[in-house]
A and B are shown apart, each in its own frame.
Chain A
Amino acid sequence: MLTFRGGVHLHEAKGSTRHKPVATPPLPAKVFIPMSQHIGVPSNPVVEKGTEVRTGTVIGEPGGRVSVPTHSSVSGKVTDIAELPHPLAGGKVTTVVIESDGSDTPDDSIQERPTADLKPGDIVDAVRQAGIVGMGGAAFPTFFKLSPPEDKPIETLIINGCECEPYLTADHRVMLEQPDGVIEGTGYIARALGVKSVVLGIEDNKPDAVEEMSRAAAKAGFTVLRLRTKYPQGAEKQLIQACLNREVPSGGLPMDVRCVVQNVGTAVAVRDAVRFGRPLYGRVVTVTGPAVNEPKNLLVRIGTPVRNLVEACGGYSGTPAKLIMGGPMMGIAVSTDEVPVLKGTSGVLVLDEKTAAQLEDRDCIRCGNCIKVCPMGLAPQRLYYHSRKRLLDRAEDEHVLDCIECGCCAYVCPAKIRLVHHFRFAKSEIAAMKKP
């Protein structure tokens, strides 16, 4: 079966949500919409305190070339524009606070339109205007990936349905419940890129999704590939390796091997934007973990506080000890449940004291586990020594910048060394040195 080099087999822990249809909780009374939800330049707010907005109204304009607009996710009134805690930035970010009027009145711009004659440029524009970013977690502006430079022809579009992080089932449910939406959106993306070859990569722990998607894909002439269940199969470079047996060059991008990768959730968002003119203001989030009473997949509005999500799942059970935005391998732990759901939030995972407990780290015993599992072919054990001693030039020579922070090395380390933490430090120091 198709797969990539390295990686680890993880306990999936997806059972508590994989069979539950996506539920829609009541609208939040207030949403908190940060102007930075994507990689790149933040949006600039174009509303003021007191501005009346509708669901889908633009509240932030793109702040630069690699940037997208931000939209209101409810109808109501802007009550504040303030610097508020952000789940990923590690600090405070300009956030528009909107009080919902409960009516969920859509913006006038949201209109269905015929799509048969849309040109690639129209699709890219629609995707940008809708504020779509990669919904698998990285949140890179999607329109940018759809406009590759002239000298980088794209042959293959890969749709990512791996969802290799334990606990998360949001993409799984999207594939089961909206297979035709995924395929329709995929069609628009393929048209924007001008590619003929489209493959959907799905891990073989989701045979029902493989079946549903194969049925839907057959009509469009797309291919579904079953991939071996192994983490991080859903990482962009590993997915390309598994599907096409091509390696993205070190320091390069998927377009360097003539392909583009998009997540299944993003494909649905593209469909909504292109056909219905609906911007990205909601998404499916898996709310799960041993410290959540009733784990669920929820269709929620961007900007909904995480606390509302947990309450929609029966609240906390036991003693919540760790709250993670995303999955357990790459997700970011946050210190409060007042942070909002972002466009890239695929999951909210709450661990209890037992599952959050971590052992103290010890000295490396050179067992070599980390080298065996590194999907990027790095030697984490050596990078760790270089990073810890701040030998940044040596860390760079040994390609620390190629680290995708998947966490496999730290997962298998018997000495419980926080390898990813050290590599992030080295990467940020190197980046800081390179700044002019």
Chain B
Amino acid sequence: MSEPAYTLRLTVTAPPHIRFDGTVAKVMWTVVIAMLPAFAGSIYFFGWRALMLVGLSVASAVLFDALSQMLFGRRVTVSDGSAVITGMLLAYNLPPGVPWWMPVVGSAFAVVIVKQFFGGLGHNFINPALAARAFLMVSWPGLMTARWLATRGGTISGLDAVTTATPLAVLKNAGEIAGPGGDPAGLLVQAQSWPVVGKLFFGNVGGCLGETSALLLLVGGLFLIFLRLIDWRIPVAYVGSVLLLALVLPGPKHHPLAYLLYHVFGGGLMLGALFMATDYVTSPITGKGRWIFGIGCGILTVLIRLWGGYPEGVSYSILLMNVATPVIDRFTRPRLFGRLKESRKRT
């Protein structure tokens, strides 16, 4: 054999030697893109204030993420976009009238305590943005529940007569809102009407920054489902079980169909079902587990809305189901090839 005219410098790694072209960063930045319609909507409805709050939230999430990774001696991975998503989601979950420092404090809590303290992306057991929202709720309940703003050309409640309550608060506290000698039933009839449901769908009502427009959230969510980046099972199970429960459980129903749509498009259900319950890290990993997760979120949401202490229950429902995720994962393993009748083994 003659000496070759070349020197081979060969890499040796374990197979497989080819990979698909998806990366964590591609996934995350695509989710960011899917959240942009709702971002544009928040600026349209609430003005430049929305831009300021979302911008502050994102900038501080990225900054605190990078700083804590440096501090903990970890690889700095902020370019993967996950902190951007956390910052956006947190801002989307804030009332538009909160002071500028709230998204900053919230982002710090989300990325430093909830995410990096537990090991960084992939290791947090609850959704960082939602945990931060819960933290802000208990720390500054007044700021988090009373800083609603009317939308451009609209009102907070979607009704001309009611100026300070969000749509779901109207549903829950019609009596108090109508005041002594008022007409709560009339309020509920007015609320459960097609014009109001239309406003809820397009987003021309008060609420958290990014949650008001069901339409814009659906555009982004369907985009992610189409790309198979999020599993359709979770939003379908979540929204489906909310619909079903709202249908069968007693509630202040006046117009049956409008009442159901009010539940679906009012509040944070679309934002939660499409963008927060579908977070990979904190939701179950198998299809079966994701059905259970979505249904659990739906049940909790309706229970909180109908009988809980808050008008809205999406955030706490998802957080509670996040905590249940390891248990769901344990009991929803895929079926092993060649174990058709296997009794579930305890591990």
Contacts and interface: CB of A to CB of B under 8 A. Distances in A.
B307 interface: no
Interface in B1-58: 1, 4, 6, 8-20, 22-24, 26-27
A363 B338 CA distance: 31
Given A166-B18, A376-B337, A379-B334, 9 more contacts: A248-B338, A250-B337, A328-B15, A333-B15, A366-B281, A372-B287, A377-B339, A382-B329, A421-B13
Interface of B: 1, 4, 6, 8-20, 22-24, 26-27, 77, 80, 119-123, 231, 280-281, 283, 285-287, 329, 333-340, 345, 347
A365 interface: yes
B12 A414 contact: no
Nearest to A29: B1
Contact of B12 (A10, A334, A375, A424): A334
A81 interface: no
Interface string A352-372: 000110110011111110011
Nearest to B4: A307
Contact of A237 (B16, B286, B337, B340): B337
A323 interface: yes
Nearest to A407: B16
Interface stretch (A101-109, A156-164, A174-182, A392-400): A392-400
A402 B17 contact: no
A368 B332 CA distance: 13
B1 A307 contact: yes
Interface in A416-430: 416, 418, 420-421, 424
B338 A402 contact: yes
A363 B285 contact: no
Given A250-B339, A328-B16, A411-B18, A305 B1 contact: yes
Interface in A385-411: 394, 397-399, 402, 405, 407, 410-411
A337 interface: yes
A376 B334 CA distance: 9
Contact of A416 (B19, B77, B119, B122): B19
Nearest to B9: A321
A323 B24 CA distance: 28
A331 interface: yes
Interface in A134-187: 166
A252 B14 CA distance: 26
A420 B286 contact: no
A82 to B, nearest CB: 15
Nearest to B17: A328
B337 A330 contact: no
Interface of A: 5, 8, 10, 29-30, 166, 237, 241, 247-252, 305, 307-308, 316, 320-324, 328-337, 349, 351, 355-356, 358-359, 362-368, 371-372, 374-379, 381-382, 394, 397-399, 402, 405, 407, 410-416, 418, 420-421, 424
Contacts of A405: 15
A363 B120 contact: yes
Contact of A378 (B4, B119, B334): B334
Nearest to A416: B19
B336 A399 contact: yes
Contacts of A398: 333, 347
A179 to B, nearest CB: 30
Contacts of B340: 247
A377 B286 CA distance: 11
Interface of A, helix, strand, loop or mixed by DSSP: loop
Contacts of B17: 322, 324, 328-329, 331, 333, 349, 351, 356
A337 B8 contact: yes
A418 B281 contact: no
Contact of A329 (B6, B18, B77): B18
Nearest to A289: B17
Closest 6 CB pairs of A and B: A407-B16, A421-B14, A363-B122, A250-B338, A376-B337, A368-B285
Given A237-B338, A337-B8, A414-B26, A379 B286 contact: yes
Nearest to A322: B11
A367 B121 CA distance: 12
A249 B338 CA distance: 4
Contact of A412 (B20, B337, B339, B347): B20
Contact of A377 (B6, B18, B280, B336): B336
A30 B1 CA distance: 8
A357 to B, nearest CB: 9
B11 A379 contact: no
11 contacts: A247-B340, A355-B18, A358-B19, A365-B24, A365-B121, A366-B122, A375-B337, A398-B333, A407-B16, A415-B23, A415-B24
A142 to B, nearest CB: 23
Nearest to B336: A377
Given A329-B18, A333-B10, A355-B18, A252 B121 contact: no
B337 to A, nearest CB: 4
A71 B124 CA distance: 59
A346 to B, nearest CB: 14
A368 B24 contact: no
Specify which of B15, B120, B340 lies most central, judged by the most chain A CB atoms within 10 Å of its CB: B15
B337 A359 contact: no
A367 B27 contact: yes
Contact of A335 (B12, B119, B281, B335): B12
A8 B158 CA distance: 49
Given A337-B8, A407-B16, A421-B14, A397 B281 contact: no
B178 to A, nearest CB: 47
A349 B336 CA distance: 33
Contact of B334 (A241, A374, A420): A374
A93 to B, nearest CB: 17
B114 to A, nearest CB: 15
Given A377-B335, A379-B285, A416-B23, A363 B9 contact: no
B18 A366 contact: no
Given A249-B339, A363-B122, A10 B18 contact: yes
A420 B16 contact: yes
B338 A252 contact: yes
B18 A322 contact: no
A416 B24 CA distance: 9
Contacts of B4: 307
B77 A362 contact: yes
Contacts of B337: 5, 237, 241, 247-248, 250, 375-377, 402
A414 B1 contact: no
A395 to B, nearest CB: 10
Contacts of B27: 365, 367, 414
Contact of A368 (B9, B123, B280, B338): B280
B15 A407 contact: yes
A410 B19 contact: yes
Nearest to B290: A368
Contacts of A374: 334
Given A307-B4, A335-B12, A414 B121 contact: no
Given A379-B333, A410-B19, A365 B280 contact: yes
